[in-house]
Amino acid sequence: MSDPLLLSLAATFLLSLVFWTFPGIDLTVTGLFYRTGDGFALSRDPMLKALRASSIWVMGTMVTGALGVLAHRAATGRLIGSLQARRAAFLISGLAVGPGLLVNGVLKSLWGRPRPVHLEIWGGKAVHVPVWRMSDQCTGNCSFVSGEASSAAWMVAVAALLPPSVRRWALWPVVTYAVALSMNRLAFGGHFLSDILLSWSLTALVLGLLWRCLPEATTSMRGRGGPGLSRLARLEPLGSVAPISTSALRLTANEGGRASHPKDGQSRADQAPPLAGAMPPPGRSGRQGLRASHAAEPRLNDL
């Protein structure tokens, strides 16, 4: 299964099932970053704080680039039908619908899951709430799911759609940056592991749905025939490429004035005349038959 939409849907289902069935995974992983009397000490690390602050500049640069592509294509009258413009519009809409609407507008606002730093076992007052269970212990900007991890997943999509010459060296550094940016929230006590992983899969799900809406993606994602199918569809019909020469068949069937009756022990299929365009047998007789075929061809006009 290589369809990004189906992969992200399967990942969302499996992750939800695992963390719903075993909610202790979140508590165990988050507990690795907590120290009694010191709390989540990594949240005060200058380098990790700088890493988190850098995300707004990196994402801002990517958004500016996508908007710049749209503006340039519109100014030059190439907005409609431009591959770069369609991809830029896909990225902008993906950011708005995924991290913007679904993650921050719906899940973080309505599900009410308290952050790790707010739990009573780590110095807060709230109790742990598993994934997908709505709660009133948080009233806004809650833990489920991670907005920054969702934006990091969107950055990977930007890198994946860069021109091949740039993508070759940019993709894996962006993936590494996105993973570090996401796991940083875990070290800070701001999110559970399930918040991060589900934000990735949900963002990928949104991007997969939007990608299906692109005209260029309808065949590449639903049928893996590739460009070979389009080239095959443009081939000329067989009859127009190699028409059978009736005069050649006549000469072959009656060569030397002999009737074309099958010999004893042979079927008619054994003596069937060759199709036009087939390679003549080697030797002098084959060359003579080919010249005779071309010499007799104009007589078709007299029929």
Which pLDDT tens digit goes with each residue over 181-201? 999 999 999 999 999 999 999
The contacts of residue 136 (CB under 8 Å, 6+ apart) are 112
257 versus 148: which is more confidently predicted?
148
Q: How far apart are CA 45 and CA 41, in angstroms?
A: 7
Using pLDDT thresholds of 50, 70 and 90, give the confidence band for residue 34: very high
Render pLDDT for 141-171 as a digit per residue (tens, 0 to 9).
999 999 999 999 999 999 999 999 999 999 9
Burial class (CB in 10 A: 0-12, 13-18, 19+), 227: exposed
Q: Span 62-85, mean pLDDT?
A: 91
Q: Do residues 12 and 201 touch, judged by C-beta distance below 8 A?
A: yes
Domain ranges of the chain: 4-223
Q: What is the 3-state secondary structure (H, E, C) of 32-69?
A: CCCECCCECHHHHCHHHHHHHHHHHHHHHHHHHHHHHH
Whole-angstrom Cα distance, residue 296 to residue 303?
Answer: 12
